[in-house]
Amino acid sequence: MKVAKTGNEAMAEAMRQINPDVVAAYPITPATEIVMIFSQFVADGLVDTEYVAVESEHSAMSACIGASAAGARVMTSTSSQGLALMYEMLYIAAGLRLPIVIGEVNRALSAPINIHGDHSDTMGARDSGWIQIFSENSQEAYDSMIQAILISERAKLPVMVTTDGFIISHCLEVIDMIPDSDVKRFIGEYKPERFLLDIKKPYTLGAIDLQDYYFEHKMQEAEAMKNSKKIIMDVAAEFNKSFGREYGFFEKYKLDDADIAIVCLGSAAGTTKVVVDELRAKGIKAGLLKPRVFRPFPYKEIASELSKVKAISVLDRSDTYSAYAGPVFTEITSALYSSNIQIPVNNYIYGLGGRDIGIADITKVFEELVGISKTKKVERLIGYIGVRE
Amino acid sequence: MEKKLGWKELPEGDILEEGTARKFKTGDWRNKRAVYHPEKCIQCFICWINCPDTAIIVKDGKVVGINYDYCKGCGICARECPPKATAITMEEEKK
């Protein structure tokens, strides 16, 4: 069914259809509406969810962990400082292997205080053991929220599905919603192998692990992240079979015969597609690789797809403040290096604090790539788009 | 020596069998000792409810003493014991 929904409405609708047992949340701009709309669903009796209004995001994630350990299907939503405040608990959710799903709206981190979209918050949590799925638009956010339930429960790892603050979260788009009953059938009932409220099979969860066992448990977590790759692809295939929309680790847009390519995540990929089309009309073979799944990082698959292009620009909507490059750039270049692929690559940091990136900006990046593809030389490794001097 | 399990053998997700606290005797942390005076006890069970280490011994439905294998000497039982009873007092632990 085609309906007009903002990114936040799309995520809230997905949560209604999923009908989780517990949602513990503390609303924060620009994700506020997700739990605001969802709490109305609770009040209206449209879901069976136990909604826990907590006093902070640290408590929100703590309550989610407790509920998930008890055996519930658990979801929440947050953004920016909220995700940052959850940081300690994010690692615990992953370490205890609890399938919690967050609808996370990407927003800049303070200071300076800013409420607009960039990827700093989610990138800050990239090593927390959570599966991370980025969305280009409301449709992808909606579809990925539904898939995330199955991915998390099968991988026994938590998942965050992200949209870009305001650009997606507040932008009204037409999305194709799946009927409630089909979502219910697709996700099925959650039957955890072990859960703390199962009084017939009691166990100890979260005991101290020192030099003797910590490493083995973290090894299991690392292995679970590796194994999640197959699970993510299986769930995407099941989703495609049921609902006719294709998903994978990334989306390729006119990449197969491309000479030059941009790699970028989230909403900027939509703008990049417009530029690719414009350049193709002029006979320039431009393409796009849009990673959807950033954790686990599909390094071999990405390197293989990029192996035939002559020059690449990686666009990062966050900085690492390392006197080096953005987080996506370092992952892409290390993926190419470890696959013995030598292609000139540069990096652009863009859009911090919601600074707009337009067609003209991306056209300039591609124009520079045309030059690099001929000279095979990167004159400037790391640049910044749209910042005043 | 106890065989340590490898990552492939361990149950996933920091899980152990139930009741592991039973194997960990916290009594040697104690520097004050909770002493039970049965003649003063009114059997209200407030100490039993509040003890964080389940160290209050109950037999046939009655409080009968303190389990020093687990009593850490935190003093909560003595603090919570009703003033008119004071059936538990804290005394210096003899080392």
Closest C-alpha among A375, A178, A369 to residue A287: A369
| pLDDT for res B2 | 76
| pLDDT for res B13 | 87
| pLDDT for res B1 | 66
| B48: CATH | 3.30.70.20
Average pLDDT of the segment spanning A33-55: 98
Q: Which helix (H) or strand (E) holds B90?
A: strand B88-92
Angle, helices A214-243 vs A180-187, to 10°: value is: 140
Distance in angstroms (rounded) separating the CA atoms of residues A45 and A41: 6
| pLDDT for res A95 | 97
Residue A114 has pLDDT above 70, yes or no: yes
Q: How confident is the model at residue A80 (pLDDT cuts 50, 70, 90)?
A: very high
Binary contact (A220, B4; C-beta < 8 A): no
Distance in angstroms (rounded) separating the CA atoms of residues A290 and A133: 11
Residue B95 has pLDDT above 70, yes or no: no
Task: Point out the least confidently predicted range of A371-380, B4-13, B70-79.
Answer: B4-13
Average pLDDT of the segment spanning A57-73: 98
Domain-embedded: residue B16: no
Q: How confident is the model at residue A170 (pLDDT cuts 50, 70, 90)?
A: very high
Q: Which chain B residues have a beta carbon less than 8 Å from that of A195?
A: none
Q: Distance, in angstroms, between A91 CA and closest chain B CA? A: 12
Each residue's pLDDT tens digit, A215-227: 999 999 999 999 9
| pLDDT for res A65 | 98
Domain-embedded: residue B70: yes
Each residue's pLDDT tens digit, A296-342: 999 999 999 999 999 999 999 999 999 999 999 999 999 999 999 99
When CB atoms are compared, the residue of B4, B7, B12 closest to A212 is: B4
Each residue's pLDDT tens digit, A135-151: 999 999 999 999 999 99
Each residue's pLDDT tens digit, A186-240: 999 999 999 999 999 999 999 999 999 999 999 999 999 999 999 999 999 999 9
B24 touches chain A (CB under 8 A): no
Binary contact (A204, B10; C-beta < 8 A): no
B10 touches chain A (CB under 8 A): yes
Q: Tell me the residue range of the domain where B85 lies.
A: 26-92
When CB atoms are compared, the residue of B6, B14, B18 closest to A202 is: B18
DSSP state letter for B18: T
Domain-embedded: residue B37: yes
| pLDDT for res A389 | 95
Domain-embedded: residue B21: no
For chain A, the three-class secondary structure string (H helix, E strand, C coil) is: CEEEECHHHHHHHHHHHHCCCEEEECCCCCCHHHHHHHHHHHHCCCCCCEEEECCCHHHHHHHHHHHHHHCCCEEEEEEHHHHHHHHHHHHHHHHCCCCEEEEEEECCCCCCCCCCCCCHHHHHCCCCCCEEEECCCHHHHHHHHHHHHHHHHHHCCCEEEEEECCCCCCCCEEEECCCHHHHHHHHCCCCCCCCCCCCCCCEEECCCCCCCCHHHHHHHHHHHHHHHHHHHHHHHHHHHHHHCCCCCCEEEECCCCCCEEEECCCCHHHHHHHHHHHHHHCCCCEEEEEECEEECCCHHHHHHHHCCCCEEEEEECCCCCCCCCCHHHHHHHHHHHHCCCCCCEEEEECCHHHCCCCHHHHHHHHHHHHHHHHHCCCCCCEEECCCCC
Compute how many other C-beta atoms are within 10 angstroms of the C-beta atom of residue A73: 23
Domain-embedded: residue B20: no
Domain-embedded: residue B50: yes
Average pLDDT, chain B: 93
ipTM above 0.90, yes or no: no
Q: Which residue has the higher pLDDT, B94 or B39?
A: B39
Q: Which domains does chain A have, with CATH numbers?
A: 2-243 (3.40.50.970), 251-384 (3.40.50.920)
Average pLDDT of the segment spanning A79-96: 98
| pLDDT for res B93 | 87
Return the C-alpha torsion angle A67, A72, A77, A78, nearest 10: 30
Each residue's pLDDT tens digit, A1-13: 999 999 999 999 9
| pLDDT for res B20 | 86
How many structural domains are present in chain B? 1
Q: Which chain B residues have a beta carbon less than 8 Å from that of A224?
A: 12
